[in-house]
A and B are shown apart, each in its own frame.
Chain A
Amino acid sequence: MLLIACPWCGEREELEFHYGGQAHVAHPAEPEGLSDSQWGEYLFVRDNPKGPFAERWSHSAGCRRWFNVVRHTVTHEILAVYPAGQPKPVILP
C-alpha cells in the first residue's frame, strides 16, 4: 500500500487516490493538423521506465485535486510530490 502525500491533505493511503498515468504529456497545440499516427501517439504511447517516473494522481476520495508524483517503479518509493503545472523535479535514476 502506497502512502501518498497529497499536497493539500497530507499523507493518505493509496486507496483514496486515482491513478492518471504519465505526467507532462502536453495536449497538442494544433490537434487538427496531426496525422492519425501522431494523434494515436499522443493518446496511447507513453514512457514505461524501470526507475523514477513522473505521473499524475488525483485525490479522488479526498479533496479531488490532481497533482504530480515522481515514484520509483521498482521500489515504489515516492521521490517527489508537486502541483500540476510545475516543472518535473530533476531526479537522477
Chain B
Amino acid sequence: MHPTVVMSNHVHVYVSQAHKGELVMGAGVDSYNGYGQRGSFHLIERQMAAALELFPVFARAHVLRTWGGIVDVTPDASPIIGPTPVGNLFLNCGWGTGGFKATPASGWVYAHAIATGEPHPLAEAFTLERFTTGALIDEHGAAAVAH
C-alpha cells in the first residue's frame, strides 16, 4: 500500500509501512522537560491529523500502540560531539529525535575524537565549546524535525 517512507515538514509527519503491514509514524517533542516516557495525547492527536492530511485513506486504520521516550535536547537542538574540559571524558549526545539515522557518521567522528583527543574536522562546530563562544548551530529547521 505504501512502498516508501514519506515525510512532510509542512504538516510535520513521517510514515512508513512495516513488513507486517502496520504503519509506523513519528510525532513531535513535548515543549517541557519530562521523564514520564508516556507520550502526550495532544501530540499523538496532532500526528494522526497530519498523517490524514497526507493520506485520507488512513482514516480507517486503528491505533495499535504508541511509544514515548526521553530525548536529549540541547539549547540549539543540535548534538554535542567531541572532547570536554575533563580529561578522557568525551560527549556524543543531544541527538534529540535524530540519533538513529545519524549513527554511521556520528560513530565515525566520535571514534576520531576518542582516538586523537581532537574533534573530527566534520564535527568541529559541534563541540561543547559552542555554548561558550556563542557559535551555535543554526539548523533547527533542517536537523531536528521529523525523520
- CB pair A36–B34 under 8 Å, yes or no, is no
Indicate whether A48 reaches chain B with its CB closer than 8 angstroms. Answer: yes
Interface majority SS on A: helix, strand, loop or mixed? Answer: mixed
- Which A residues touch B134, using CB under 8 A? 36, 40
Known: A36-B133, A40-B134. A71 touches B32 (CB 8 A): yes
- CB pair A44–B131 under 8 Å, yes or no, is yes
Interface majority SS on B: helix, strand, loop or mixed? Answer: loop
Closest to B41 in A: A1
- CB pair A18–B31 under 8 Å, yes or no, is yes
- Which A residues touch B34, using CB under 8 A? 73-74, 76
- CB pair A1–B33 under 8 Å, yes or no, is no
User: Which of A13, A14, A53, A73 is in CB contact (< 8 Å) with B36?
Assistant: A73
User: Which of A14, A18, A36 is in CB contact (< 8 Å) with B132?
Assistant: A36
CB distance from A12 to the nearest CB of B (A): 13
- CB pair A37–B132 under 8 Å, yes or no, is yes
Bound-state CA distance A71–B132 (Å) is 30
Query: Which B57-97 residues have C-beta < 8 A from chain A?
Result: 75
- CB pair A48–B41 under 8 Å, yes or no, is no
- CB pair A48–B33 under 8 Å, yes or no, is yes
Interface flags for B112-147 (1: CB within 8 Å of A; 0: not) read 000000000000000000011110000000000000
Closest to B30 in A: A19
Closest to B37 in A: A74
Known: A36-B133, A40-B134, A44-B75. A74 touches B35 (CB 8 A): yes
- CB pair A19–B36 under 8 Å, yes or no, is no
- Which B residues touch A73, using CB under 8 A? 33-36
Interface flags for A38-73 (1: CB within 8 Å of B; 0: not) read 001001110010100101000000000000000101
- CB pair A75–B36 under 8 Å, yes or no, is yes
Bound-state CA distance A57–B38 (Å) is 21
- Which A residues touch B132, using CB under 8 A? 36-37, 40
CB distance from B136 to the nearest CB of A (A): 9
- Which A residues touch B10, using CB under 8 A? none
Indicate whether A79 reaches chain B with its CB closer than 8 angstroms. Answer: no
Closest to B43 in A: A1
A-B complex: 7 closest residue pairs judged by Cβ atoms: A19-B31, A40-B132, A44-B131, A19-B32, A44-B75, A74-B35, A40-B131
